[in-house]
Amino acid sequence: SYSGENAGLIKCMEILKHKEVPIISLTSIGDNTIAQMSDCRLNITTREKLYSKIGNFTSNTSIIYLLNLLYAIVFAKDYDENLDHIITVGKHFDQRTTSVDIMREN
């Protein structure tokens, strides 16, 4: 949540808190409800206004970076097993082809 005050997310977090589910949030810098309710808070950039902006460039970049970082941490925990899984699934289901040698699978 960019603002940290999304009513739907806050209601969902209340349910998760009641069930003692750990919560990681991606929200703006500053004191907001979602940040306060989170067990772990990852800040996204807050260089954009809520709606008077050209686009979501900095917040999107920040969110993508944080999600990629989380993915890399989890993937690295069992790297060999996760890599084997990705290769196995890819061999069975990925039907894409390429004319570029460097991208071609063996």
Domain-wise residue ranges, the chain: 7-77
Report which of residues 62 and 21 the model is more confident about: 21
> Mean of the pLDDT values across residues 40-59?
80
Model-level pTM? 0.72
- Residue-level pLDDT at 58: 82
Report which of residues 62 and 48 the model is more confident about: 62
Euclidean distance between CA atoms 67 and 61, whole angstroms: 10
- Classify residue 34 as exposed, middle or buried by CB count within 10 Å of its CB (0-12, 13-18, 19+): buried
For the chain, the 3-state helix, strand and coil shares in percent, each to the nearest 5, are: 55, 10, 40
**Could you give phi then psi for residue 41, rounded to 5 degrees?**
-120, 125
- Residue-level pLDDT at 28: 87
